């Protein structure tokens, strides 16, 4: 049986204020007091893993070891069948651009273009299937851990469509829909997203509810 | 011998005010009175050619036939050796995106990503050589024409660098330079650009000067 968090303090291993707020809102109903790794002054470990599970675990473990508290981390990304699962853990790396020195911003349209170019190079019959993954990892200071993996399958379209969402959303059409993630309303996307799927698995296992 | 424009009216087959201004400034010293195709109410023909020369000529011819005056048109783009010359005449098409319905904007970083993805798919040893082309075509109402082709050779770099210039400039390092076209000052770029090369050939041939 999976180790249970119970109630009390939980470190959220993110320096992203928006992500902390979203996760805290989901977990506070279960009596968890969420604190960000950034607020504790913890360093962000390098994401050296080759899978989402490895990256989520190394972030959760680093935060649990440094804080002495249970810690939750996530890792997520998009994988294309024609590219043997890439960009995968390199989802954000492919969007890194050096617009000018000292400004390593992200450009998601550049990243979408790279994905499209790599698939296009394989010819018109290359599969357009892709999936979004979200892995949530909980690590305890004694080394115990739990992992929950969410997934959303779909097809890559071109050119990008829609101005909602984030990342590769404008090229991803979830199965059963005609719109891209960037054309769907946030509530529609949330109902089927990889992130919701992972959180549903976590709360079902940890708190006996979805 | 090439037909000479002499002095008088010349239709510039562009609906782009910036391009008209730039071309007019270059040609007015030679006694040419430049008028834009847009100001004459001429329609823009579809660029159905498969080469820069075809596209420049079809634009110049359409404007010359419709106006009864000599007309100048240009077509330009970037060609990658590893992609057998693509995007080439599709240079701008690769940047077309449907951000949301009714907004067919251009995103050059998306286009740069697509080029990079197609080259990356060919493996780490794929050639990074590329060239920019600019073709200037003059057409007379009687069907005569002249064509001038400018070129600038270089290498494609990744990720994009620099915030000057236009189009694929942030990934194009001209031969003999370390900076991309988007890192070079406009005067440096102008000294070596495909467009300057084409205009130098035109003015040398038409007016006996460069």
pLDDT at A45: 92
pLDDT tens digits, one per residue of A37-54: 988 999 889 999 999 999
pLDDT at A97: 80
pLDDT tens digits, one per residue of A82-120: 999 999 999 999 998 876 666 667 899 999 999 999 999
List the structure tokens of A171. Answer: 């090229």
**Residue at B164 is within a domain:** yes
Query: Which residues of B are less than 8 Å from A118 in CB distance?
Result: 117-118, 120-121
Q: Does A166 touch chain B (CB under 8 A)?
A: no
pLDDT at A87: 97
What integer is the mean pLDDT of A196-205?
94
Q: Does B166 touch chain A (CB under 8 A)?
A: no
Contact criterion met (CB below 8 Å) for A92 and B91? no
CA distance B195 to B205: 15
B160 and A110 in contact by Cβ < 8 A? yes
Is residue B30 annotated as involved in ligand binding?
no
**Residue at A1 is within a domain:** no
Q: What CATH number is associated with residue A167?
A: 3.90.950.10
Catalytic residues of A: 75
B121 and A116 in contact by Cβ < 8 A? no
Point out which residues pair with B150 in neighbouring strands. Answer: B134
| Domain encompassing residue B75 | 8-207
Q: Is a pLDDT exceeding 90 seen at residue A209?
A: no
pLDDT at B4: 87
By percentage, how much of chain A surpasses pLDDT 70? 95
Tally of domains within chain A: 1
Query: Which residues of B are less than 8 Å from A113 in CB distance?
Result: 94, 107, 109-117
* Mutation to test the A interface, candidates B96, B106, B121, most A Cβ within 10 Å: B121
- pLDDT category of residue A183 using cuts at 50, 70 and 90: very high
3-state secondary structure A57-69: HHHHHHHHHHHCC
* Mutation to test the A interface, candidates B157, B159, B163, most A Cβ within 10 Å: B159
> To the nearest whole angstrom, how far is the Cα of A93 from the nearest Cα of chain B?
11
Residues within 8 A of A (CB atoms), B 141-160 only: 159-160
Q: What is the number of H-type helices and E-type strands within chain B?
A: 5, 6
**Residue at A39 is within a domain:** yes
CA distance A60 to A58: 6
Return all residues near B18 (Cβ < 8 A) that are at least 6 apart: none
pLDDT tens digits, one per residue of A16-28: 888 888 889 888 8
**Residue at B61 is within a domain:** yes
pLDDT at B100: 62
Q: Does B106 touch chain A (CB under 8 A)?
A: no
Pick from B99, B113, B162: CB nearest A100:
B162
**Residue at B147 is within a domain:** yes
- pLDDT category of residue A1 using cuts at 50, 70 and 90: low
Q: Which residues of A160-190 are buried (b: 16+ CB within 10 A; e: fewer)?
A: bbbebbebbbbbbbbeebebbbbbbeeeebe
**Residue at B1 is within a domain:** no
**Residue at A112 is within a domain:** yes
What integer is the mean pLDDT of A143-152?
97
What integer is the mean pLDDT of A162-190?
94
Q: Does B178 touch chain A (CB under 8 A)?
A: no
Return all residues near A19 (Cβ < 8 A) that are at least 6 apart: A12, A74
pLDDT at A18: 82
**Residue at A2 is within a domain:** no
List the structure tokens of A40. Answer: 């504790």
* Mutation to test the A interface, candidates B84, B91, B113, most A Cβ within 10 Å: B113
**ipTM of predicted assembly, 2 dp:** 0.82
A121 and B116 in contact by Cβ < 8 A? no
| Phi/psi-derived region of residue B59, left when phi > 0, alpha when psi is between -120 and 50, beta in every other case | alpha
Sheet of strand A71-80: strand arrangement: A32-36, A8-12, A71-80, A129-139, A145-156, A172-174
Query: Which residues of B are less than 8 Å from A96 in CB distance?
Result: 159
Contact criterion met (CB below 8 Å) for A207 and A148? no
A109 and B114 in contact by Cβ < 8 A? no
Q: Which residue of B has its CA nearest to A108?
A: B110
Mark the ranges of chain B whose per-residue pLDDT is less than 70: 1, 99-104, 209-210
């Amino acid at each position: 049986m999976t180790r249970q968090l119970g109630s009390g303090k939980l470190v959220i291993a993110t320096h992203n204020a928006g992500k902390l707020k979203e996760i805290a809102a989901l977990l506070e109903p279960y009596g968890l007091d969420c604190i960000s790794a950034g607020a504790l002054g913890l360093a962000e470990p390098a994401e050296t893993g080759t899978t989402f599970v490895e990256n989520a675990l190394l972030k959760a473990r680093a935060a649990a070891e440094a804080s002495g508290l249970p810690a939750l981390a996530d890792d997520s990304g998009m994988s294309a069948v024609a590219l043997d699962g890439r960009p995968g853990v390199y989802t954000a790396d492919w969007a890194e651009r050096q617009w000018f020195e000292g400004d390593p911003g992200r450009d998601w349209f550049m990243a979408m273009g790279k994905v499209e170019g790599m698939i296009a190079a394989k010819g018109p019959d290359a599969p357009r299937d892709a999936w979004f993954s979200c892995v949530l990892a909980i690590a305890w200071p004694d080394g115990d851990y739990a992992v929950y993996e969410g997934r959303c399958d779909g097809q890559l379209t071109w050119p990008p469509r829609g101005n909602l969402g984030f990342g590769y959303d404008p090229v991803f059409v979830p199965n059963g829909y005609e719109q891209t993630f960037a054309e769907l309303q946030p509530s529609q996307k949330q109902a089927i997203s990889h992130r919701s799927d992972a959180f549903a698995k976590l709360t079902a296992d940890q708190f006996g509810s979805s």
